[in-house]
Amino acid sequence: MIKPEDPIEILDAMEQGILALNAQGKIEVFNASLERTCGLSRESTLGKSLADVFPAEEWLHPLYQRFLRHGNSVTLHDQSLSNRVPVSLTISPLWGQKDAVRGTVVGAVLVFQDLSLIKKVQEHFLKSDRLSYIGLVASGLAHEIKNPLTAIRGAAQLLAKEIPQGTESIQCCRVIVEETDRMNRLLEELLTLGRPHRIEVRPVNINQILDELILLESKSPTAKGIEFIKEFDPSLPYVPGDEEKLRQVFLNLIRNAVEAIKETGTVWVRSKFATEYVTIDPGEKKKTHILVEIEDNGSGIPEEEQEKIFIPFYTTKPKGTGLGLPLCLQIIKEHKGTIKAHSTPEKGTLFQIALATSEWEGEFKR
Ligand SMILES: Nc1ncnc2c1ncn2[C@@H]1O[C@H](COP(=O)(O)OP(=O)(O)O)[C@@H](O)[C@H]1O
Ligand SMILES: [Mg+2]
């Protein structure tokens, strides 16, 4: 219980970082929240000036000077404390009790508001905003581009029939066909991202999809030198989902895994029950989940790049589209599932997809 006569405890219980300066500009109060944010102990700050305690916060000193000049509250948003915590800061005058009416300033109170959570929410909305914007542009453009592309492809194929085999010109025709195919795939991906469509839910045999995809991918020329290891739980139930879309997700992830391996390496594809992963819908019973894991021992993703991989058009590949993972994220969200990436640079990457099974439980369980 906080006793009103214990002001330090009250300040320590506050979420905001609070600091008070006396008339000489020396720190008299430094609360627990600020200790945590800055990684400084109260004892090491008391009696010191702002410049002593915050030498790296260049934005703070002009703000304090402005406060001293005007004597009114001043606020600055979107600054960074200890180089990592986003904060806003308000500096307000501390009035002497007896002199409150006459307005003698006896010090200043600094209130730091931690913006980390707000930033996270903003980023989330930014991402989904960008997705819907791309959707608009895509549906407008894609159809317009698709028709002439089909014509170009057809014409190149016709030409190829007229040209003798083994010549350079026939190579050119092949390049035209291959490149139009690539553009077509890009447009398809854009269109899929753009359409906010519903998924067609049916019971899906996840192991079977994974099996077929591995068979297909292991035959592709890019998968030369790559070993696929299947670790499936045969007792997995059917999962409610859109088979075609889930196929697209797993194919994207397996292709990314293959593309992350330079020459030789391994891709593990696992299916299992997610024993540790249980969600409870409001008013509903517990949901069991299955987990699909696609892991590779390829290049890995640099730490500072990891948060960007689900953003549309982020790609590190010369011929990449940067739409594979945003598409996966969208499809898994439509399934009310989750997709997570864990990556260690130079070691490899693990993607985990959790999908709920419970809607079909009993009904479709093998
Ligand atoms: N398994 C992986 N290993 C390493 N990097 C990956 C992996 N999966 C995705 N990435 C990174 O994320 C980026 C975006 O992937 P994606 O959206 O599928 O687009 P694309 O494959 O067209 O580049 C890739 O360019 C790559 O840098
Ligand atoms: Mg990809």
Position 188 scores a pLDDT of 79
Position 130 scores a pLDDT of 65
On the 0-12 / 13-18 / 19+ scale of CB atoms within 10 A, 110 is buried
Ligand 2 midpoint to CA 251 (Å): 9
Mean pLDDT computed over 144-173: 87
Max avg pLDDT among 16-25, 79-88, 141-150, 294-303: 294-303
pLDDT band at residue 96 using 50, 70 and 90 as cut-offs: confident
231 strand-pairing partners? 270
Position 135 scores a pLDDT of 65
Cβ-count burial 247-284 (b if 16+ within 10 Å, e if not): bbbbbbbbbbbbbbbeeebebbbbbeebeeeeeeeeee
Contact 30, 45 (CB under 8 A): yes
Position 360 scores a pLDDT of 43
Testing ligand 1's pocket by substitution, the residue of 255, 309, 331, 349 carrying the most ligand atoms inside 8 A of its CB is 309
What residues pack around ion ligand 2 (CB closer than 5 A)?
256, 324
* Ligand 1 site, residue 314, Cβ cutoff 6 A: yes
Ligand 1 midpoint to CA 205 (Å): 26
* Ligand 1 site, residue 296, Cβ cutoff 6 A: yes
- Please report, rounded to a whole number, the percentage of residues in the chain having pLDDT higher than 90: 43
For 240-287, what is each residue's pLDDT tens digit?
999 989 999 999 999 999 999 999 999 999 999 987 555 545 555 566
Position 85 scores a pLDDT of 87
pLDDT band at residue 71 using 50, 70 and 90 as cut-offs: confident
Position 2 scores a pLDDT of 43
What gap in Å lies between CA 27 and CA 30, rounded to an integer?
A: 7
pLDDT of 143 higher than 80: no
* Ligand 1 site, residue 297, Cβ cutoff 6 A: no
Mean pLDDT computed over 167-190: 85
Kindly identify the ligand whose nearest atom is closest to the C-alpha of 326: 1
Atom of ligand 1 nearest to the CA of 326: 17
pLDDT of 362 higher than 60: no
Question: Going by DSSP bridges, is the β-strand pair 74-81/105-114 parallel, antiparallel, or unpaired?
Answer: unpaired
On the 0-12 / 13-18 / 19+ scale of CB atoms within 10 A, 296 is buried
Domains of the chain, CATH where assigned = 7-114 (3.30.450.20), 120-194 (1.10.287), 202-360 (3.30.565.10)
80 strand-pairing partners? 86
Max avg pLDDT among 121-130, 235-244, 289-298, 301-310: 289-298
CA atoms within 13 A on the CB side of 287: 20
